[in-house]
Each structure stands twice: as structure tokens, then as C-alpha cells.
Amino acid sequence: MNEFSLIRRYFSRPPRRRDVLLGIGDDAAWLAPQPGSGLVVTVDTLIEAVHFPVGTAPGDIAHKALAVNLSDLAAMGAVPAWFTLALSLPSADDAWLRAFAADLFALADRFDVELVGGDTTRGDMSVTVQAMGFADQVLKRDGARAGQAIMVSGTLGDAALALARTQAGESVDARLSARLNRPEPRVALGRGLVGLAASAIDVSDGLYADLGHILAASGCGATVQLDALPRSEAFAAAAPDSAWALLGAGDDYELCFTVDTARLPEVHELAATIGVPVTRIGTTEAVPGLRCVGANGALVTVGTVGYDHFR
Ligand code: ADP
Ligand code: MG
């Protein structure tokens, strides 16, 4: 199997979207963006042994590589449309590629995004996905103002707990490992928050770091209630007292956003309509910095911050 038959066999499919004038197979894709709408573009790389352990199931790698990019589009409030895939592999293994492609396209079809091109090389395993979508208005990090409610979708810490348990060689609840390997991008929530939320980010590096990005960009501060952080049943059962380990936990791929308190009913109505829970975890304030308050109301000093590749 050569490079071209590999691409044809695993990644080339009949066109699905009408806005793809020319997909895989030429020197570049030819796409028809929506007239009058902005193009939102994001890219993320997953490297073996850095972002996923050696031996991770190919379907999990494929799902995550696309999901983390869709999560970035969600955090902007964009409608996903297209993606490209740059794949570096040590060898062309049929079973691996088959499983990779199956789960890649399963997620792609669920969000109506089409693979329009890519690059295939031999080397250490890495997967780069670039995703593109449309928006005529976006959610940004710099829109938070003092006095807004700080909200988060879903639950926090599940993926980080699964990773810690896996690395320690312990058994992991299947619900927790699913959160690590199969994140669900909050695309519908992000769309619905456009024009409603004041600021938003997806929680990929841990709440403390990512909410910190909103506060820094917006020039304000916040207080977060540790006992308000949403935990899953599986998390509570496996780690009853670690509310605040959640702050530094990465890989949640939930949305964190701020909203004027007067508009909270609309947020809850949206969340109920799309079936994604949202929880208020604190309030933005004029004083810069992120303060965390424990159950007894006392300030808790948090030394944990998000993952940084170069620290
Ligand atoms: P070029 O040499 O002109 O850059 P390539 O030989 O790299 O073209 O790729 C041929 C075609 O296959 C292009 O349309 C490219 O976008 C597509 N392609 C290559 N690798 C992938 C991949 N992993 N997934 C999807 N499309 C791919
Ligand atoms: Mg090429």
C-alpha cells in the first residue's frame, strides 16, 4: 500500500456537503464559504506519548483529535463545516487505519463536518486536525464584566481522574475513561450562547487556567465556590473529597462562560432544550485574580494551574 492508495482506501469518501466544490484528491480543497458569514479556523495536534499513551485505541485517538477541534469551534459559537487531517504514522497498519477512520467519520457525520483534505507522512505517530466553521457573531474571551455569573457545562475532573488512575495502573470506571477518550464537543451549547453569554472558553487545560484566560483577557477577577463545581456520580464515588483537584484538571472539554445574571433564565432554558446541564460556579468581580472559596467560606489557595507544554 502506498501513500495514495492509503488515502483513497481509508479517507476518501463521496462528497456530502454542497459547499465542498472539490474535496480530497487534488492539490488542495476548493470550498464555498457561506456568503456574508465569517470563517472560524482552529488546529490542534495530538502526539503519541504526549497527548495519549502508546497503545491507545485508534478509534479513541481519531475521536479525540476531531473532538478537541470541534470543542474550539463550540467555544467560539461557530457552526462546524469542514476539517483537514495531517497524519504521521510509523507504519500503514490496515486494522489500525480501519478503526481510526471508522470512528473519525462517525463523529464527523454526527456533526455534519466533512474531511476535505490532509497530509500523510511516515514518522512518529501524531494526528493534526484543522477544523473550520461559520459564524457571523462569535463568543470571545474578553467580554466578561464584574457582576456576571460564571457558568460551566457538564461535569469537571472526570477525564483527569481517569488519566491519573490509568497512569497509576489502577482500574478506572468506564464512565470516567469515556470522558477522557471520547470528549463530547458542546457545539449546540456554544451556538446557543452566541448573543447570550458575555465571554466563553472551552476547558481543555483545567478550569483554573482557562477561567484565568477569560479574566486576564477581560481585565476582571472572580470568586469561585469550590463546592459548586459540578462533579459526576462516577467522580464522586471514586474521589469523594477532591473538589479542588478539579481546578487544575485538564481534558474536560466543557464550556466555561460568563453571563449577565438577568439572562440566567435564558441560559437555563437553552441548557434544558439541548439537554446539557449547566452550573453556576461563581461570580466575576472588579478586583483582578481568581479566588476560590471552600465550603466554610474560607479562601483556599490554589497552587495547581493548567497544563503547559513548555513549563
Ligand atoms: P500534495 O503532494 O499536492 O500536497 P498529497 O499527495 O499530500 O498532495 O495529497 C493528495 C490528496 O490527498 C490531497 O487532496 C490531500 O488533501 C489528500 N490527503 C492526503 N492525506 C490525507 C489525509 N490523511 N486525510 C485526508 N486527505 C488527505
Ligand atoms: Mg502533501
Tell me the pLDDT tens digit for each residue of 112-170. Answer: 999 999 999 999 999 999 999 999 999 999 999 999 999 999 999 999 999 988 888 99
Is residue 40 within 8 Å of residue 133, measured between CB atoms?
Answer: yes
Tell me the pLDDT tens digit for each residue of 174-202. Answer: 999 999 999 999 999 999 999 999 999 99
Q: Is residue 82 in contact with ligand 1, taking CB distance under 6 Å? A: no
Of the pLDDT bands very low, low, confident and very high (cuts 50, 70, 90), residue 259 is: very high
pLDDT greater than 60 at residue 299: yes
Tell me the pLDDT tens digit for each residue of 73-104. Answer: 999 999 999 999 999 999 999 999 999 999 99
Is residue 295 within 8 Å of residue 242, measured between CB atoms?
Answer: no
271-297 mean pLDDT: 95
Spacing, Cα 84 to ligand 2 middle (Å) = 12
For residue 29, the model assigns a pLDDT of 97
Q: Given the DSSP bridges, would you call strands 278-285 and 149-153 parallel, antiparallel or unpaired?
A: antiparallel
* Index of the ligand 1 atom closest to the CA of residue 27: 3
The whole-chain average pLDDT of the chain stands at 94
Single pTM value for the model: 0.94
Planar angle of CA 295, 296, 297, nearest 5 degrees: 90
Cell numbers linked to 89: 504514522
Residue 80 zone, left/alpha/beta (φ > 0; ψ -120 to 50; rest): beta
Is residue 291 within 8 Å of residue 224, measured between CB atoms?
Answer: yes
- Specify which residues 121 forms β-bridges with: 88
Q: Is residue 2 in contact with ligand 1, taking CB distance under 6 Å? A: no
For residue 250, the model assigns a pLDDT of 87
Is residue 90 within 8 Å of residue 202, measured between CB atoms?
Answer: no
62 versus 226: which is more confidently predicted?
62
Is residue 227 within 8 Å of residue 295, measured between CB atoms?
Answer: yes
Of the pLDDT bands very low, low, confident and very high (cuts 50, 70, 90), residue 305 is: very low
Residue 238 zone, left/alpha/beta (φ > 0; ψ -120 to 50; rest): alpha
Planar angle of CA 211, 217, 223, nearest 5 degrees: 40
Q: Is residue 12 in contact with ligand 1, taking CB distance under 6 Å? A: no
pLDDT greater than 70 at residue 243: no
Of the pLDDT bands very low, low, confident and very high (cuts 50, 70, 90), residue 295 is: confident
For residue 304, the model assigns a pLDDT of 47
Cell numbers linked to 173: 470506571
Nearest ligand for residue 6 CA? 1
Q: Is residue 289 in contact with ligand 1, taking CB distance under 6 Å? A: no
Q: Is residue 25 in contact with ligand 1, taking CB distance under 6 Å? A: yes
Q: Which class for 280: exposed (0-12), middle (13-18), buried (19 or more C-beta within 10 A)?
A: middle
